Amino acid sequence: MEKSSTGATLRHHIVRRRQSRLQCQRGQDSQPLVYGTRPDSCSLTRYMIATLLFTSHAAKLVASARDQLTWGTRYDSRYVTLKYPGGDVAKDRGVCTDVIIRAYRSVGRDLQKLIHDDKRKDPSAYPSGKLDSNIDHRRVPNMTTFLRRKGASCPLDQDWQAGDVVWWKLDSGLNHVGLVTDKRGPSGNLMVIHNLSTPREEDCLKSWKLCGHFRW
């Protein structure tokens, strides 16, 4: 009986992960395993592997963002000439998008190069068609356009999970992004690591107008 109960629990967990992925399906090149695959075309073992890999992926994103809390980074939006690819501003400076960029590099995804390459292929899909590998990836509209084009959009106000990217419109009208973590705040919502003045992990998921929810 214990073995059967454990198996049922595992199957329930995997089905929930699969349902979440069907709502928030990634681009074809972003997760080569079974997310979004029909249930009769993939074994339970494959679902288990995919679930474990995604959990590891999200954990790395959160761990990288959380590590940035120790850097003493201050908000600094000045234009900086960067090397390409793999360019970054100094660790002691950055903007909200740099939290996301740095986190994704921990899982082998260089948003500087990925956004630049995608924009070069289809400049009309982006808010500004002019290419600039120094700054394009650090602009919220470009980052969110790229994530949408990768099929990473999720329902705006449900199913938040650790590792998700949240896009807000601040009360000032400015765009802002952060990375959802695995901790819950007093509100009961998952907390977010973001940089408005310095990177912080705060209970602010619902603090501003929600404009985008991405999982990639």
Domain assignment of residue 182, yes or no: yes
Domain assignment of residue 82, yes or no: yes
Q: Write the secondary structure of the chain as one string of H (helix), E (strand) and C (coil).
A: CHHHHHHHHHHHHHHHHHHHHHHCCCCCCCCCCCCCCCHHHCCHHHHHHHHHHHHHHHHHHHHHHHHHHHCCCEECCCCCCCCCCCCCCCCCEECHHHHHHHHHHCCCCCHHHHHHHHHHHCHHHCCCCCCCCCCHHHCHHHHHHHHHHCCCECCCCCCCCCCCEEEEECCCCCEEEEEEEEEECCCCCEEEEEECCCEEEECCCCCCEEEEEECC
Domain assignment of residue 194, yes or no: yes
Domain assignment of residue 74, yes or no: yes
State residue 32's pLDDT score. Answer: 35
State residue 49's pLDDT score. Answer: 67
State residue 34's pLDDT score. Answer: 33
State residue 52's pLDDT score. Answer: 65
- Look up the CATH number of the domain holding residue 118: 3.90.1720.10
Domain assignment of residue 50, yes or no: no
The pTM for the full model equals 0.78
Return the number of other C-beta atoms located less than 10 Å from residue 2's C-beta.
Answer: 6
Domain assignment of residue 157, yes or no: yes
Host domain of residue 106: 56-214
**What is the tally of structural domains in the chain?**
1
Count how many residues are written for the chain.
216
CA-based max dimension of the chain: 63
b/e per residue 129-162 (b: at least 16 CB within 10 A)? eeeebbebbbbbebbbbbbebbbbbbeeeeebbb
Mean pLDDT by 10 residues, the chain (216 residues): 41 46 44 39 61 80 98 97 98 98 98 97 92 97 98 93 97 98 96 98 98 98
Domain assignment of residue 94, yes or no: yes
Domain assignment of residue 51, yes or no: no
